[in-house]
């Protein structure tokens, strides 16, 4: 009885500690500045995005894709942003990628670096309400391939620099604008070669800012209002082929298990037996930053995440695809191949698994896990080159603080937090020249608009484009002017 009382006493003390801990967790004071109006002409900015979309810079997967649009786009930047082009020194990398540099007055300051990619994914016209490369402007939106991914961000950044130059604002810090040409092809000849050029020149950056973070409705996190997530790292990438060879023949007399059945079984087992969920550093920082704004119950859980970790990890891994992606390596079966006829047993079958690797899960570890689960009768091989999870950028830097400040000044009431970006960007290549690599897409988008990325009727709101331009102006004011 005394042992039971002692156990209950310890448990009661722990619960009281957890309650008090949650109650004492308050939002940290932020150094805010009053937002000013820049008098931007949002319709002119929308026109510039429209014109950019009309240049079909589709990723050149092979020689059959024309490269003329990439040269046309270079001329477009020159003609549309004359002050920028006049002030900047242009270096062309591998014929198509562009590096612009504007020198700053203070040579002791490391440069700022703004990334974007020129290329877009293909856009067959079927299903679109407007031609995909028309750049149609209607109902408050600019339509077309690249409207979101990511000519909108490139245009907003260029507009902000042109604005600063038009106002005669001197640059204290040098800036680079690096526009790769093959990001949609997993990047081979663009960003890696740009970084190689920087290393040869001995150039290091104060910070790098690319696409990647997002703004979302805080309700899914138990928060009133919007949340802006800044990517401080990104998951790794690996495509794995599972294959099996068996005797083929007529489907009327199947010998079990068939090649296709064996592969299907391996895929099923992999979906059921995945790697254990983990809390990475960015995920812990995400919870810590947002916990003070959460509803009491969610706040209690997140503040005490260290104590509740075993249960919380499992819950997040099964709650929602987004929460699952934040705490574990994901395995997505995306392609399969068997026989070419309905009544023929395939002598060979395969499936492709797209793996997104969380920090701490190396390609070698993930591959070994897949081999173990798939079994000895399944051949497992990596397609192309596996990309490990990126390094993690710190958040206790002036760069992160000033970018966060620019977000809060532009989007009133938004809560800012770091997180692990679950896809891939060109920014992952820049760690050799910069430790402060951040990812943020400064556009308020509805869930409907988010579904349009790489899909039909891709579009960008004109008001959102204006706000994004204001964000980049504030980043320049906070860090470069």
CATH of residue 376? 3.30.70.360
pTM: 0.92
Same domain, 379 and 410: no
Sorted by sequence, the CB contacts under 8 Å of residue 291 that are 6+ apart come out as 25, 299, 302, 303
Task: Read off the pLDDT of residues 159-202 as tens digits, 9 standing for 90 and up.
Answer: 999 999 999 999 999 999 999 999 998 888 999 999 999 999 99
Same domain, 214 and 302: no
**The two three-digit tokens of residue 430, written as one number:** 């820049």
328, 357, 387 — which closes off a domain? 387
In whole numbers, what is the pLDDT of the chain averaged over residues? 93
User: With bands split at pLDDT 50, 70 and 90, how would you rate the model's confidence at 33?
Assistant: low
For 13, other C-beta atoms within 10 Å of its C-beta total 10
Q: Is residue 15 part of a domain?
A: no
Structurally, how many domains does the chain consist of?
2
**The two three-digit tokens of residue 92, written as one number:** 């062309």
Active site residue 119: yes
Any idea what the CATH number is for the domain that residue 165 is in? 3.40.630.10
Give the burial class of 189: count Cβ atoms within 10 A of its Cβ; 0-12 exposed, 13-18 middle, 19 or more buried.
middle
Same domain, 291 and 360: yes
Same domain, 270 and 357: yes
Helix (H, G, I), strand (E, B) or coil at 440: coil
Q: From its phi and psi, is residue 459 left (phi > 0), alpha (psi between -120 and 50) or beta?
A: beta
Q: What sign results for the dihedral spanned by CA atoms 149, 405, 77, 94? A: negative
pLDDT of residue 21: 83
Same domain, 144 and 252: no
Q: Which of 148, 170, 52, 162 is nearest to 100 (CA)?
A: 162
Q: Is residue 29 part of a domain?
A: no
Residues 480, 176: Cα–Cα separation, whole Å = 11
Q: Which residue has the tokens 């999870």?
A: 389
Tell me which of 183, 184, 234, 470 is the catalytic residue.
183
pLDDT of residue 40: 96
pLDDT of residue 31: 64
* Domain residue limits at 314: 233-387
User: With bands split at pLDDT 50, 70 and 90, how would you rate the model's confidence at 203?
Assistant: very high
330, 356, 387 — which closes off a domain? 387
Same domain, 350 and 419: no
Q: Which of 99, 95, 103, 97 is nearest to 114 (CA)?
A: 99
Same domain, 73 and 129: yes
Tell me which of 119, 184, 193, 466 is the catalytic residue.
119
Residues 316, 294: Cα–Cα separation, whole Å = 16
Q: Is residue 177 part of a domain?
A: yes
Q: Which of 31-35, 243-247, 267-271, 278-282 has the lowest mean pLDDT?
A: 31-35
| 451 or 463: which leads in pLDDT | 463
Q: Is residue 13 part of a domain?
A: no
Active site residue 183: yes
The pLDDT of residue 30 is above 80: no
User: With bands split at pLDDT 50, 70 and 90, how would you rate the model's confidence at 2?
Assistant: confident
pLDDT of residue 338: 93
pLDDT of residue 20: 83
Same domain, 213 and 273: no
| 208 or 27: which leads in pLDDT | 208
CB 164 within 8 A of CB 172: no
Same domain, 199 and 246: no
User: With bands split at pLDDT 50, 70 and 90, how would you rate the model's confidence at 3?
Assistant: confident
387, 409, 424 — which closes off a domain? 387
Same domain, 70 and 170: yes
Same domain, 297 and 406: no
Same domain, 206 and 64: yes
């Amino acid at each position: 009885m005394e042992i039971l009382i002692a156990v209950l006493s310890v448990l009661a003390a722990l619960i009281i500690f957890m309650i008090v801990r949650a109650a004492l967790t308050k939002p940290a004071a932020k150094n805010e500045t009053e937002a000013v109006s820049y008098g931007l002409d949002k319709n002119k900015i929308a026109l510039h995005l429209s014109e950019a979309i009309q240049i079909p810079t589709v990723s050149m997967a092979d020689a059959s894709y024309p490269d003329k649009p990439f040269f046309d786009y270079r001329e477009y930047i020159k003609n549309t942003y004359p002050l920028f082009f006049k002030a900047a020194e242009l270096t062309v990398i591998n014929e198509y990628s562009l590096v612009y540099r504007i020198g700053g007055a203070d040579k002791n300051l490391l440069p700022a670096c703004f990334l974007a990619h020129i290329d877009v994914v293909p856009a067959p016209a079927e299903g679109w309400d407007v031609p995909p490369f028309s750049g149609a402007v209607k109902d408050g939106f600019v339509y077309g391939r690249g409207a979101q991914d990511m000519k909108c961000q490139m245009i907003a950044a260029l507009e902000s620099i042109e604005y600063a130059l038009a106002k005669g604002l001197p640059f204290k810090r040098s800036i680079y604008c690096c526009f790769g040409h093959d990001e949609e092809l997993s990047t081979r000849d663009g960003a890696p070669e740009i970084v190689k050029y920087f290393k040869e020149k001995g150039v290091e950056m104060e910070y790098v800012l690319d696409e990647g973070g997002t703004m979302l409705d805080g309700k899914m996190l138990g928060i009133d209002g919007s949340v802006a997530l800044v990517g401080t790292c990104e998951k790794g990438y690996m495509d794995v082929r599972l294959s099996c060879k068996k005797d083929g023949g007529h489907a009327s007399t199947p010998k079990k298990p068939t090649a296709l059945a064996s592969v299907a079984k391996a895929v099923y087992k992999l979906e059921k037996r995945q790697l254990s969920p983990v809390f990475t550093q960015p995920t812990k920082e995400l919870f810590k930053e947002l916990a003070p704004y959460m509803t009491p119950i969610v706040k209690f859980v997140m503040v005490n995440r260290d104590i509740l970790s075993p249960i919380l990890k499992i819950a997040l891994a099964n709650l929602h695809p987004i929460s699952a992606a934040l705490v574990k390596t994901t395995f997505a079966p995306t392609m399969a191949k068997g026989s070419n006829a309905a009544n023929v047993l395939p002598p060979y079958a395969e499936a492709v698994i797209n793996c997104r690797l969380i920090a701490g899960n190396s390609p070698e570890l993930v591959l070994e896990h897949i081999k173990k689960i798939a079994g000895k009768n399944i051949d497992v091989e990596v397609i192309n080159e596996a990309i490990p999870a990126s390094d993690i950028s710190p958040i206790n830097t002036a760069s992160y603080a000033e970018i966060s400040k620019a977000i809060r000044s532009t989007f009133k009431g938004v809560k800012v937090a770091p997180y692990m970006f679950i896809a891939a960007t060109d920014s992952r290549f820049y760690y050799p020249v910069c430790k402060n690599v951040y990812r943020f897409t400064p556009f308020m988008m509805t869930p409907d608009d988010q579904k349009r990325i790489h899909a039909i009727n891709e579009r960008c709101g004109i008001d959102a484009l204006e706000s994004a331009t204001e964000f980049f102006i504030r980043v320049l004011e906070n860090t470069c002017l």
